[in-house]
Each structure stands twice: as C-alpha cells, then as structure tokens.
Copies of this chain bind each other. A is one copy, B any other.
Amino acid sequence: MIYSNFNKKELLNEKERLIQKLEIYKRQGLKLDMSRGKPSGAQLDISMPLLQQKLDYKSNGVDYRNYGLSMGIPEIRNLIAELLGVKFEEVMVLDGSSLNIMFDTVARAMLFGAYKGAKPWSRQKVKFICCVPGYDRHFAICEVFGIEMINVAMTETGPDMDEVERLVSSDESIKGIWCVPKFSNPDGIVYSDETVKRFAALKPKADDFRIFWDNAYCVHELYEPVTLLNIFDECRMRGSEDMVYEFVSTSKITFSGAGVSAFITSERNMEYAKSIIKYQTIGPNKINQFMHYCYLPTVEAIREHMKEEAAIIRPKFEVLINRLNEVKKDGLVKFTEPKGGYFVSIYVLDCCAKRVVELCGEAGVKLTGAGATYPYGKDPCDSNIRLAPTLPPIEEIETVADILCVCIRLASVEKFLSE
C-alpha cells in the first residue's frame, strides 16, 4: 500500500499536496450528486414512445379504464410470469412502487400474520437477517416496524450461507431475510447457483419465515446476459415455495415510480395476500399497465430495451471504475467491477468512509452517506461507500471520480498520520 512506507514528513507533504488539489475543486463551487440510484434523462427519454401510444385500453372485452382486475391485467401478468419463470397465478401486478409492495407485505404479516392462522408478527419478537452491505430502504422497513436486524456478510457468491442456515434453523424469531439476488445493491454480486439452491433448501425454525427476494435488477445487465437460478424452480423441487416473496419493478426499465411493479409468490401465499388486499384496493392502474405491455410486449422486447439503457450507463460505470483503478492500484480502495445493476460499491481503508464522504461533500460532491448500506446506518468498519453513477452526465462523473480519488487519498493519509 502506497502510504505504508511513507515517513511522517512525506505523509505531511502528501497531505498538503492533496489539500491544495481539493482547494482547486472547492473554489469551483461545484454541486454534483452521485448519491441515489436514479436513471438519467437520456435513459428516461428512451421510454417516451410508451406515453405516446394511441390505444383504446380495451382487451378481450374488458375496459381497462374502469374498475376491476385486482391482480393486474392478464397480459402483463403473463409477461412477468414468462420473464421470471413462474406461474400466471403467482404474479400480482400493482402500481409503480415495489417498495410499497414490500412494505405492505411486512405490514400484512405484522397485522394479520404471514399465513392464514399464523400469529401476527406484531405480537411476537421478530428479527430479520440483513445481508451487508445492502439496500438502506430494506433496513428502514425493519426499523420502522421495530424488527431487529442481524447482519450477515456478503461474499462473492451471495450471503454467507453457512451463517444464514445456522441462524434460520436455530432461532424461531427470525422471520425474514432481505436479498437482492442479482446485481446486489450495492456490490453488484449475482448469487451463485449453489447459493440459490441453499436458499430453497432452508429449513427455518419459524414456519412463518419468508425470503424477501427483491429482484430489482433482473434484466439490468451492463454487458452480456447473466443468469440467476430461478428460486421458485428450486423451491418447487423441495416443496418450499411458500417461503419466497419475489418483487420486481420497471422503475429502472421505463419510468421511476411511474412504472409497474409486481409481487410474486406461491399460489397459497397469493390467495392469502389477496384475501387481505381486496379490502385495501379495488385494483391497480390498468391504463398504465396496458401502456407498458403494449410498449414492451415480450421478454425479447424488454431485453432489447435494456440494451439501449446499458449503452447509456455503461460508459459512466467505466469512467468511474477507470479512475478508481488508480487508487485501487495504490491499495487504498477495493471493489469488484459490477456487470449490471445501478451501483459501484467501494471499500476504502477501515475508519475512512465517513471522512471520504465528508471531504467530498466539502468539495461539492454529494455521495450516499457512509454507513447507509448497513442496518441502523452503522458500518462496523466504516469502510463501504455506495456510488451511483447513472444520473449525472459523463463529464460530471469524471469530475466526481477525480475528486473522490483525491478524497480517498487524503482520508488515507490522515489515517496514517493519526496512527
């Protein structure tokens, strides 16, 4: 590592040099934001024809402009069933926010139990396993419901399954686990076949344990196709399909928050969910669903569309990664290059992440808060930083990356000086 054989004077010189460099950026009064995984305007533009279709919104004698079809329109249920390799009856298509479906799924279990006759979670101790680093909004749902979170580390093939198996099989209060199985948020890890099989083979102590399979990036390849094993196939072989809730949305396919999202689970779970959801709503926005279906009517059309999306964001990822490779060479940061998804997840030296984010902020670059990728916002090593390069224009990514590299160096030098 570059600074490990610097003496104090050399470290102080380096610190001074970096502060000078940062000063130049500060004087520019920049206001750059790489904090959230939002698509860029150019990506959103791709889907504009979706909104310009002339449709009559009638299909097989049903008027989609009127009430009805609480499970969503059959066309889009079929399409999602085909995309994910599940049954039509296992797919409920709702409005734009899959987060809303996840929240409601937990809320239903809290109020009514996870299956008919089960004890509501609100009347018992409930813990969730959180794969770390992970998605802050998953953790936030646990927090608001008072669900205790237990960290399990991610590996290059998915969560540490030895630990997951141990916890799930030994503790009846463990009722759930949050997973982003393909291009995980933030690391971009794709769960290996073995990991998926081990998930399907879990033998939970709690009969109301559920896997929250947030397949947010199921078609979000940056390069060639990447296959994730179909967990429902694996579960069906073992009779464990009631254990899985899957979630997908088009928020990062068409429009963010204005697309369609889906809830996928076993027929038994779905019957139960429906028995409560029917009190909650008469049905989703079928006009928007039909627009989506007509614009992207086949799995092939979705994949072609996603190639256009990838063409826009890939260069942004590459610019960021190329710049970061310099500090990586110097041993100041670690990361794996993601092959899809929305993030680059970097690990700076221990105890440096907060400082790096702070230094970037002072130079006008907003990053996701350090710690956000951990439950309660607490990264035990203060090392992980999630970078979201999709929204800013590529020139800004370059500037952000340059500033970020300076800040990583400076925080590292400070760390060495304080030791």
- Residues of A bordering B, CB below 8 Å: 36, 38-39, 41, 44, 47, 51-52, 54-55, 57, 63-68, 95-97, 99-100, 103-104, 107, 110-112, 122, 137, 140-141, 143-145, 251, 255-258, 276, 279-288
Contact = CB atoms under 8 A, between A and B. Distances in A.
Chain copies in the assembled complex:
2
Given A63-B41, A107-B111, A288-B288, A279 B96 contact: no
A191 B286 CA distance: 34
Given A110-B111, A257-B281, A257-B284, 4 more contacts: A47-B65, A96-B284, A107-B107, A144-B276
B111 A279 contact: no
Counting from the closest, the 4 A-B pairs by CB-CB distance are: A258-B287, A103-B280, A258-B285, A100-B281
A66 B54 contact: no
Given A111-B145, A256-B67, A103 B51 contact: no
- Give the most central of A41, A137, A287: most B CB within 10 Å: A287
22 contacts: A39-B66, A44-B65, A44-B66, A51-B57, A65-B256, A65-B258, A67-B256, A95-B95, A96-B284, A96-B285, A97-B281, A103-B279, A103-B280, A104-B280, A111-B111, A111-B122, A112-B144, A144-B279, A257-B281, A257-B282, A257-B284, A258-B287
A188 to B, nearest CB: 20
B282 A99 contact: yes
A142 B413 CA distance: 62
A281 B137 CA distance: 9
A95 B285 contact: yes
Given A122-B122, A141-B279, A51 B257 contact: no
B282 A285 contact: no
A335 B323 CA distance: 77
A149 to B, nearest CB: 14
Contacts of A67: 36, 38, 251, 256-257
A103 B63 CA distance: 26
A235 to B, nearest CB: 28
A108 B137 CA distance: 18
Contact of A51 (B41, B284, B287): B287
